[in-house]
A and B are shown apart, each in its own frame.
Chain A
Amino acid sequence: MSRTDSRGLVLDEKLLFELTDPGRVGYSLPACDVPEVTPQKSLQRDEIADFPELSEVDVVRHYTRLSTWNYGVDSGFYPLGSCTMKYNPKVNEQAARLSGFAELHPQAPEHLCQGALELMYRLQQDLGEVSGFPAITLQPAAGAQGEFTGMLMIRAWHEAQGNKRNKVIIPDTAHGTNPASAALCGFDVVPVASDGVLSKAAVEAVMNDEVAALMVTNPNTLGLFEADIREICDLIHERGGLVYCDGANLNALMGISRPGDIGIDVMHFNLHKTFSTPHGGGGPGAGPVGVVEKLRPFMPVPIVVKEGERYRLDYDLKQSVGRVKGFSGHFGILVRAYSYILSMGGEGLKRATELAVLNANYIRARLEGSYDLPFKQRSLHEVVFSEAALENDCHTLDVAKRLIDYGFHPPTIYFPLVVKGALMIEPTESESKQNLDEFCDALLSIAEESLSKPELLKQAPIRAKVKRLDEATAARKPKLRWVKE
Chain B
Amino acid sequence: MRYLPHTEMDIRQMLETIGVKNIDELFSGIPDSCRLQSPLNLPSALSESEAVAVLKTLAERNAKVSEWDSFLGGGAYNHFIPAVVDHLVSRSEFYTAYTPYQPEISQGTLQAIFEFQTMICQLTGMDVANASMYDGASACAEAVLLALRTGRKRNKVLLSEALHPQYRETVATYCRYLNVELIEVGSADGVTDRQQLKGLLDEQVAAVVVGYPNYFGQIEDLQKLADAAHAAGAKLITAVSEPLALGLFKAPGDLGADVVAGEGQAFGIPLSFGGPGIGFFAVKQNDMRALPGRLVGETVDQDGKRGFVLTLATREQHIRREKATSNICSNQGMCTLMVGIFLALHGKQGLRKLAELNYSKAAYAKKQISALDGFAIAFSGEVFNEFVVVCPEPVAELQKRLEEQGILSGIALAKDYPQLENGLLICVTEQNSREQIDRLVSALAGGER
Given A51-B119, A282-B109, A325:B40 Cβ within 8 A: no
> Using Cβ atoms and an 8 Å threshold, which residues of chain B touch A67?
88, 91, 93-94, 108
Q: Are A467 and B96 in contact (CB under 8 A)?
A: no
Given A27-B345, A281-B95, A343:B173 Cβ within 8 A: no
**Shortest CB–CB separation between residue A201 and chain B, in angstroms?**
17
Q: Are A97 and B86 in contact (CB under 8 A)?
A: yes
Does chain A have a CB within 8 A of B375? no
**Shortest CB–CB separation between residue B127 and chain A, in angstroms?**
8
Determine, out of A203-211, A223-231, A236-244, A441-449, the stretch whose residues face the partner at the interface: A223-231
> Using Cβ atoms and an 8 Å threshold, which residues of chain A touch B72?
105, 107-108
Chain A to chain B contacts (Cβ below 8 Å), 6 pairs: A25-B350, A52-B119, A63-B340, A141-B134, A280-B94, A346-B40
- Residue of B with least CB distance to A50: B122
> Of A26, A102, A350, which contacts B346 at CB under 8 A?
A26
- Residue of A with least CB distance to B49: A91
- Residue of A with least CB distance to B324: A180
Does chain B have a CB within 8 A of A461? yes
> Using Cβ atoms and an 8 Å threshold, which residues of chain A touch B127?
481
Does chain B have a CB within 8 A of A147? yes
Identify which of residues 100-132 in chain B touch chain A, using a CB-to-CB cut-off of 8 Å: 100-109, 111-112, 114-115, 117-119, 121-123, 127-129, 131-132
- Residue of B with least CB distance to A47: B348
Chain B: residues with Cβ within 8 Å of the partner, total of: 202
**Shortest CB–CB separation between residue A113 and chain B, in angstroms?**
5
Identify which of residues 96-133 in chain A touch chain B, using a CB-to-CB cut-off of 8 Å: 96-109, 112-116, 118-119, 126, 129-130
Does chain B have a CB within 8 A of A161? no
> Using Cβ atoms and an 8 Å threshold, which residues of chain A touch B183?
none
> Using Cβ atoms and an 8 Å threshold, which residues of chain B touch A245?
none
Determine, out of B150-158, B194-202, B229-237, B429-437, the stretch whose residues face the partner at the interface: B429-437
Interface residues on A, range: 35 or more
Does chain A have a CB within 8 A of B259? no
Does chain B have a CB within 8 A of A295? no
Does chain B have a CB within 8 A of A392? no
Q: Are A280 and B399 in contact (CB under 8 A)?
A: no
Does chain B have a CB within 8 A of A152? yes
Does chain A have a CB within 8 A of B5? yes
> Using Cβ atoms and an 8 Å threshold, which residues of chain B touch A107?
72-76, 411
- Residue of A with least CB distance to B305: A466
Q: Are B273 and A101 in contact (CB under 8 A)?
A: yes
- Residue of B with least CB distance to A412: B101
> Using Cβ atoms and an 8 Å threshold, which residues of chain B touch A294?
none
Identify which of residues 5-35 in chain B touch chain A, using a CB-to-CB cut-off of 8 Å: 5-6, 10-11, 13-15, 17-20, 23, 26-31, 33-35
Does chain B have a CB within 8 A of A30? yes
Given A51-B119, A116-B273, A130-B40, A44:B52 Cβ within 8 A: no
> Using Cβ atoms and an 8 Å threshold, which residues of chain A touch B320?
176, 180
Q: Are A482 and B118 in contact (CB under 8 A)?
A: yes
> Of B73, B128, B173, B326, which contacts A481 at CB under 8 A?
B128
Docked pose: A409 CA to B97 CA in angstroms: 10
- Residue of B with least CB distance to A285: B330
| 0/1 interface trace, chain B 351-364, chain A, CB 8 Å (1 if under) | 11110110111011
Does chain B have a CB within 8 A of A213? no
Does chain B have a CB within 8 A of A265? no
Docked pose: A230 CA to B33 CA in angstroms: 8
> Of A59, A181, A321, which contacts B344 at CB under 8 A?
A59
| 0/1 interface trace, chain B 177-192, chain A, CB 8 Å (1 if under) | 1110000000000000
> Using Cβ atoms and an 8 Å threshold, which residues of chain A touch B270?
97, 102-103, 332
Given A179-B322, A466-B305, A16:B54 Cβ within 8 A: no
Q: Are A36 and B102 in contact (CB under 8 A)?
A: no
Query: A72-B96, A257-B30, A327-B274 known; 13 other A-B pairs, CB under 8 Å?
Result: A52-B347, A71-B105, A104-B271, A114-B61, A142-B328, A283-B132, A283-B134, A284-B331, A332-B272, A345-B46, A430-B3, A465-B105, A478-B311
